[in-house]
Amino acid sequence: MFSYLRERFTSHLRERSRRRARLVSKDGRCNIEFGNVEQSRFVFLIDIWTTILDLRWRYKMTIFISAFLGSWFLFGLLWYVVAYIHKDLPEFNPSINHTPCVENINGLTSAFLFSLETQVTIGYGFRCVTEQCATAIFLLIFQSILGVIINSFMCGAILAKISRSKNRAKTITFSKNAVISKRGGKLCLLIRVANLRKSLLIGSHIYGKLLKTTITPEGETIILDQVNIEFVVDAGNENLFFISPLTIYHIIDKNSPFFHMAAETLLQQDFELVVFLDGTVEATSATCQVRTSYIPEEVLWGYRFAPIVSKTKEGKYRVDFQNFSKTVAVDTPHCAFCLYNEKEAKAKEKKGYDNPGFVLSEVNETSDTKM
């Protein structure tokens, strides 16, 4: 009993560590870390717009709230200083004929309220700047301009964050597993992809990268070596009519990195297949990229996808997403090399071969039998 639990626990840790090692998660996030970067982190402030957009929502909202509260409080202090220098505060006991720089500022709290009313252009009318101080007029102009800049930048950043095409990619889904089976008489690796919205992706293009560790003839070890994987559908791999789920496939021929793999050795391989789908969002004309990945445990040899599209009696086409990732076992050669040799042998059986060196010689038959 304990040996069984220990084995299950060891296999679970091994599978968990392998899942952690994948570069691209199933939802498209990249698992990579940068260390010992020589450049200072202040270089990210040069491109402050991209830095703000890449922040998580909790950090973005913290900056949003801090920017407004900080500017209101800072200018509130400046308005308090102006009133203090001009002796407009009640503690200085101003005379009846005294004209303050700002009406009805009695302390730091009222100065903060006036700063808030000025920057967000509320304008209650109870507190207002007089023509008595040029400093107050200059401060009013400066706060109004800076308030417009802060408001435009922060609201624009939030709007851009909401409307990023990255969110459109969440409505593009890939099948949980990839399968290997025969298609059109050829051994293929198949993946199913679907668009969950009725709006299309214009000019869609799909391709893949096989990531693995290779050792060059010079003895150099290359981690995450990238090999191009061509995916096609029956109409090609560009300008897809992405109105219904598509089954994309990669032909496993002699030029494919999967050619020397077999059903028995697939799980022993160490690779990660990353699939990309690029397109333009029809509604916003913004480009987006959807990606996912498959490790050897997620590639099923000898299976095909279950049918997903049907036609109703009313003449409508219906997509049943319950069968989206469902697979069905089919007869499949256990390696591409075997299928290639089998097809070559059958082709040779269908045609004859002439031997140019063959010469037919006539032989005169004589009978030695005497009667």
Alpha-carbon distance 271 to 213, whole Å?
Answer: 8
pLDDT at 110 over 90: yes
pLDDT at position 69 is 95
pLDDT at 111 over 70: yes
CA dihedral 136, 141, 142, 147 (to 10 degrees): 120
Percent of the chain with pLDDT over 90: 29
Alpha-carbon distance 340 to 115, whole Å?
Answer: 79
Query: What mean pLDDT, rounded, does the chain reach?
Result: 82
Alpha-carbon distance 298 to 22, whole Å?
Answer: 12
Least reliable range by pLDDT among 25-29, 38-42, 142-146 = 38-42
Domains within the chain, CATH numbers bracketed: 56-163 (1.10.287.70), 168-349 (2.60.40.1400)
What's the pLDDT tens digit per position in 30-88? 887 777 676 666 777 777 888 888 888 899 899 999 999 999 999 999 999 999 999 98
pLDDT at 100 over 70: yes
More confident residue, 165 or 182: 182
Rounded to an integer, the average pLDDT of 257-274 is 89
Rounded to an integer, the average pLDDT of 244-258 is 88
Question: pLDDT-derived band of residue 351, with 50, 70 and 90 as boundaries?
Answer: low
Percent of the chain with pLDDT over 70: 82
More confident residue, 301 or 164: 301
Tokens of 6: 């220990």
pLDDT at 155 over 80: yes
Question: pLDDT-derived band of residue 269, with 50, 70 and 90 as boundaries?
Answer: confident
pLDDT at 107 over 50: yes
What's the pLDDT tens digit per position in 296-320? 999 999 999 998 888 888 888 888 8
Alpha-carbon distance 76 to 299, whole Å?
Answer: 63
Pairing of strands 178-183, 299-301: parallel
Q: What string of DSSP letters covers 46-110?
A: TTHHHHHHHS-HHHHHHHHHHHHHHHHHHHHHHHHHHHHHTT-SGGG---TT---SBTT--SHHH
pLDDT at 24 over 60: yes
More confident residue, 274 or 51: 274
pLDDT at 168 over 50: yes
Q: What long-range pairs does 264-269 form, CB within 8 A, spacing at least 24?
A: 264/334, 266/296, 266/299, 266/301, 267/296, 267/297, 268/296, 269/212, 269/296
Tokens of 308: 């997903």
pLDDT at position 174 is 92
pLDDT at 23 over 50: yes
Rounded to an integer, the average pLDDT of 280-284 is 80
pLDDT at 364 over 90: no
Angle at 259 between CA 257 and CA 262, to 5 degrees: 115
Alpha-carbon distance 96 to 325, whole Å?
Answer: 83
More confident residue, 167 or 207: 207
| CB burial string 334-350: b at 16+ within 10 A, e below | ebbbebbeeeeeeeeee
Rounded to an integer, the average pLDDT of 121-145 is 89
pLDDT at 371 over 50: no
Helix (H/G/I), strand (E/B), else coil: 341: helix
More confident residue, 218 or 367: 218
pLDDT at position 177 is 93
Question: pLDDT-derived band of residue 94, with 50, 70 and 90 as boundaries?
Answer: confident
Tell me which H or E stretch contains 142: helix 134-162
